[in-house]
Structure formats: structure tokens, C-alpha cells
Chain A
Amino acid sequence: MISLTSYLIISFCLFIAGMTVMIARKNIIAMLLGIELILNAAAINFVAYTRFVNQNLDGHVMSLFIIVIAAAEAAVGLAIVIRFFQIKETIHIDDATELQS
């Protein structure tokens, strides 16, 4: 029951949920939540392959870097969102049209 396939399927469903969030939501913070889900799906894959296939800990180190990068991305992304809110008083993604011609 606890096999590589079950972990891969969990990670796949997590990725699907994250992509659904990123497509369906129009709120920038909600889209950042989707990015967190997708990054976690990738990290689960690394750890599952480490456990079931090659047993050296490079996958764990890679997951650790994924966590670090997710934290940095969340900090900068939320700073941009707060700055955007100070300027436009909204966080709707369709209002971010400054660079459209």
C-alpha cells in the first residue's frame, strides 16, 4: 500500500490542485497559495524517490532548497502585492495592466 506510486499520485493531485488555484483565482495572494502547493508537490517527489529508489540523501537536500526558495519567493511576492495594493488599492489580477502597451 505504501509504495512509490501512492506518493506519486498524492503529489500529482497536489499539483493539479495548485494549478487549479492558479488558473481559477483572480486574487494575487490566492495565486501565491497555489504556487506553494505546486512547490510542495515537487518536494514530495524528491523525497519519495530518495526513499524508494536510490537511498542517498541528495533528494532531501534538494527538498530543503525548495523550502528555502519557497520562503524567499513568498516574502518577495507578498512585498510586491502589498506595494501594488498601496498604489492601486486592489489586489485583483486584472487590474495589473500597467505593462500592457
Chain B
Amino acid sequence: MFLKIMFILAATMTLGGAFLTAYTKNLMHACVYLLVSLFGVAGLYATLGADFLAATQLVVYAGGVVILMLFAIMLTGGIQNFVNKFGLDKVPSMGNGKTYTIAGLSMIITAFIIMKVLAPIFKTNVQGELPAFASTVEEIGVLLVTDHVLAFEISSILLLGALVGAAVISRPRRGK
């Protein structure tokens, strides 16, 4: 019962946040709705028994990515010209009716195709006893340094590259 309430709450947060991210007109509000949606995803992980993953989701996304995006929005906001370099009217940066119509139509087509292709997968009913929730931290730690150690090392190199790359790219150039 408690699990069911948590699931409904998390699903509502996830989907509501995602669709408000898609349809709000204010970029700052969209970022905050994305935060709501990511909290909902962390709740879904919790209802699936993935405790370590839920905590990581909260720490990395709420503490890192969304704050980074808010900073980027605040650093780049403000200037907006409504004509392009040819003097023609530009699509407003948060989209207008036309772009939303295109997006909606293509999403309907995509949804139809995916439903056609994945219908047998959606119908698979996995019956049987689900295991009780147990802590996953120890097992994930063991897996990370045994089975997945190559991916672990590669992701560390990727993070180092991302760090150095971000610093190099966003540094102001001198003497040019």
C-alpha cells in the first residue's frame, strides 16, 4: 500500500515535471520543472528497490546538473533579438505554435511506430515472486571493481576529459 502511494506520487512528479518542461514558456521555470521530474525519477528508483541509484540520482542531478544549467541560463540570458541576419523574423527561442505542431505530429508518428514494434514487449507479463528489498550498495561496489572494471576506468577518463575540456572550451581567449 505504502509502495503504491509512493509509486503514484513519483510517477505524477516525473510525468508532470516532464510535460511542464516541454510546455512552459520560461526557461528558468523549465529548469525547475526538470528538477521536479528528476526527483520523481529518484522516487521511481526507490520504488524499484535501487537505493544507491536513487541517492546518486539526487546527488548528481539535483546537486550538480540542474545547478549547472541554472548558472548557464543566468550567464546567457537576457539578450534576444527577434530578427536573424537576413532581417527575417526568427522563431522565438522557446518555440511557437508551428514548432510545437511539428514536434507533436512527429511524436505521434514515433509513438505509433514504437507501439507497433514494442507491443509484444509491453505485453510480457512477468509473474512470480518479486524478491524483497535489500541493500544494493555492497553488490554494486563489488560489480564495479570486478565485472565492470573496464567501463569504470573508462568513465573516470571520460570525466577527466570532460572536466579539462569544459575548462578549456569556456576559457576566454586572449590576444585575439
Q: Which residues of A contact B (CB under 8 A)?
A: 1-10, 12-14, 16-21, 23-27, 29-30, 32-34, 36-37, 40, 43-44, 47-48, 50-53, 55, 57-58, 60-61, 63-65, 67-76, 78-83, 85-86, 89-92, 94-95
Do B94 and A85 touch across chains, with their CB atoms under 8 A apart? no
Q: How many A-B residue pairs have CB under 8 A?
A: 227
Contact bitstring B29-61, A, C-beta under 8 A = 1, else 0: 011001001100100110111101100110011
Contact bitstring B78-93, A, C-beta under 8 A = 1, else 0: 0111001100001111
- How many chain B residues touch A (Cβ–Cβ < 8 Å)? 87
Cβ-defined partner of B15 (8 Å) among A14, A24, A75:
A14
Q: Which residues of B contact A (CB under 8 A)?
A: 3-4, 7, 11, 14-15, 18-19, 21-22, 27, 30-31, 34, 37-38, 41, 44-45, 47-50, 52-53, 56-57, 60-61, 64-65, 68-69, 71-73, 75-76, 79-81, 84-85, 90-95, 99-100, 102-104, 106-107, 110-111, 114, 121-126, 130-131, 136, 139-140, 143-144, 147-148, 151, 155, 158-159, 161-163, 165-167, 169-170, 172
Shortest CB distance A79–B (Å): 4
User: Which 6 pairs show the lowest CB-CB distances between chains A and B?
Assistant: A72-B162, A17-B18, A23-B103, A79-B166, A24-B103, A79-B170
Given contacts A16-B110, A17-B19, contact A10 B95 (CB under 8 A): no
Complex Cα gap A18–B52 (Å): 25
Do A30 and B170 touch across chains, with their CB atoms under 8 A apart? no
| Overall SS of chain A's interface | helix
